[in-house]
Structure 1
Amino acid sequence: MDLILWRHAEAQDAPPGEPQAGSDLERALTPRGEKQAVRMAGWLDRQLPEGTRILVSPARRCEQTALALGRKYKVRPELAPDATAAQLLELVQWPQGKSPILVIGHQPTLGQTIARLLGLQESDCPVKKGSVWWLRTRQRDGQSQTVVVTVQSPEVL
């Protein structure tokens, strides 16, 4: 199974003070974020296999990132900013899922998912805004392994 984790591109800062959950979901991409999303979407569009399912956080910045790809996607509340790695992995049915899945979401959820799948000592792996981590599960010597296929940042594309 391929699991592609795409962190939303650069977004506007939260309003000053204590951000409300609703206002956090409304944060939009910055002009730089829009460029990041388009650059990464161009690369992804050439790489993603046919039939890749695309699941997106309900946050506006994630939907805007998804729109740059120009493919059908489903908004899933399980991917909201307060999601856990366990919720993400259950949603995508890792590692039993059959088709590749692209998830567009947030830190720290994506970094926690990467750390968990790769068995990292840290509980969280830093994921740069607009970046993609492409992971794959495989069987080797009777054991399930997670391998990193690629990590891409919009600045280097």
Structure 2
Amino acid sequence: MNLILWRHAEAEDTAANDLARQLTTKGRKQAQHVAKWLRPRLEDDAVILVSPAARTIQTAEALTDQYRVVREIAPGASADQVLAAAGWSHGVAPTVVVVGHQPTLGEVAARLLHGDATRGLSLKKGALWWFASREHHGDETAVLLAAMSPDLV
């Protein structure tokens, strides 16, 4: 399974509520740049899971209009909730893209890299980290295949 963690791009600081925060002009450009890099690398059967926040939906829409809004990955979700929604390590699809939030995505990345979500990592706004599950001597492990920032594309 491939699991791609994509943090929403830059969003406005305030709105009627947290879920209503929209992408800024810079954020829209960040999302478009990362989507342009990601699009040719995704298989047609990839599943895109998106937090119900406006900023994550707008980030995903830079890539496609085919996505699922999943309440379990809303702001404040746990690493376990995100991994369960994606079906890690066997997946709800061969490739799952999760468009979500910090600190949760950093906690997921930390869990996959070194088994401890409490030592979360920081994903820059608009960045994505691409993991693959592998079996090694009978044990499931995660391999980091790519870490992409909007500034690098």
Q: TM-score, normalised by structure 1?
A: 0.92
Matches within 5 A, 1:1-157: 1-14=1-14, 23-97=17-91, 98-119=93-114, 123-157=119-153
Runs of 4+ in 1 over 6 A off after TM superposition: none
The 2-side partners of 1:70 and 1:118 are apart by 28
**Bigger radius of gyration among the two:** 1
Q: Report the secondary structure of 1:4's partner residue.
A: strand
Structure 1 residue 120 displacement after superposition: 5.9
The 1-side partners of 2:65 and 2:23 are apart by 19
Alignment RMSD: 1.4
The 1-side partners of 2:133 and 2:115 are apart by 16
The 1-side partners of 2:139 and 2:102 are apart by 29
Q: Can you give the 5+ residue segments of structure 1 that lack an aligned partner in the other structure?
A: 16-21
User: Matched residue pairs, number?
Assistant: 151
Letter in 2 for 1:100: T
Provide, for residues 103-146 of structure 1, a one-character-per-residue CA deviation record: whole Å limited to 9, x for no partner.
00000110000001111666210100000100011011222111
The 2-side partners of 1:81 and 1:7 are apart by 11
